[in-house]
Every structure is written in structure tokens, then in C-alpha cells.
Amino acid sequence: GEITRLLADNRSSKLEVEALEKALRDSNDEASSLREEIDNMEEALINAKKDHSAVMEEIEALQSAFDSATSEAEQDGGDKVREELTKDMLETHSREVAELKEELEGLNKANISLQAMVEQSGNTAASAATTEMITLRTQLEQAKSELGKHKKDAGQLQTDLQEQITKAEKELETAEREL
């Protein structure tokens, strides 16, 4: 009876240890998946920063072209031509600047959003994975400790039973001799 119970407890403890080890592996897999997602978000953030730099370069190029066109118009000396050219260039420049500002604003919003997502995902995933790993390790250590106690109890029970068997055999021999 007692040995059967200890063996059942032993098997139960082994199954519990296996379940905890599987849960730990699953937690590590999920943490890996979250790390990959964070890497992808960081790459998207880097691309958004590059796009921002390209937009700024375009704005500088447009300003340079405007300055150059204004300079050429001044050299030609035609006030009317200069006024028309300036007006056209200002309209074009204003329209392009407005479009680029809208695009830049969109990129900045996307950048801020991506940074927030990266920080939130990284912190949440790392914290959850760490907490779960600590919990699983604690449970694993407890299960191993219980398993060790059960093994010790089973060993003591086996020793006690062997002593009782030996004692019973001696008593039987003594009784047989007396008969």
C-alpha cells in the first residue's frame, strides 16, 4: 500500500517535472518570437529615420534650386521675368514644401508610434518571459525537492520492510525449531 502510493507520487512528480520543463521550453520559444518582432520593429524604425533624412535632403535641394533660379533671373535683369519666375517658383516651392511637411509629419508620427510599440513590446515581453521563467524554475525546483523526498521515503520504507522480513524469517525459524 505505502510503496504503491510512493511509486504513484514518484510518477506524478516526474510528470509534473516534465510538464514544467515543457512550459519552460514554450516560454523560451515565445520570448524568441517576441525578440524577432522587436528586431523587425527596430528595422522599420531605422527605415523611417532614413526616409526622414531623404525628405530633408529633398527640401534642401528645392531651396537650392529656388535660390539658383532667383539668382539667374536677377542676372537676366528682367523685372517682369523675374517676378513671374519668382511667383512660379514660390508657388511650386510652397506646394512642394507643404507636401513634404505633410509627409514628414506622417513619418514622425509613424516613428513615434513604432518607438512606443518597440518599447512596450520589449518591456512587456521581457518582463512576462522573465516572470514566467522564474515561476517555472521555482516550480521545477520544488518538484525536484519533492521527488527527492519521495525517493528517500521509499528507500526508508524498503529498508524497514526488509528489516521486518528478516525479523519475521528469524521468528519463523525459531518457531520451526521449537516444533
Q: Which of 83 and 160 is assigned the larger pLDDT?
A: 160
How much is the pLDDT for 126? 64
Please name which of 108, 101, 136, 114 lies closest in space to residue 31, comparing C-alpha atoms. 136
> Which tens digit of pLDDT belongs to each residue from 99-125?
878 877 877 787 788 777 767 766 666
- How many angstroms separate the Cα of 90 from the Cα of each of 62, 71, 84, 86, 98? 11, 14, 10, 6, 12
How much is the pLDDT for 82? 56
Q: Which of 87 and 41 is assigned the larger pLDDT?
A: 41
The answer to pTM > 0.85 is no
Chain centroid to CA 80: 65
Q: Is the pLDDT of residue 15 over 90?
A: yes
The set of cell numbers assigned to 49 is: 529615420
> Which tens digit of pLDDT belongs to each residue from 23-59?
999 988 998 888 898 888 889 888 888 888 888 888 8
Confidence class for position 139, pLDDT limits 50, 70, 90: confident
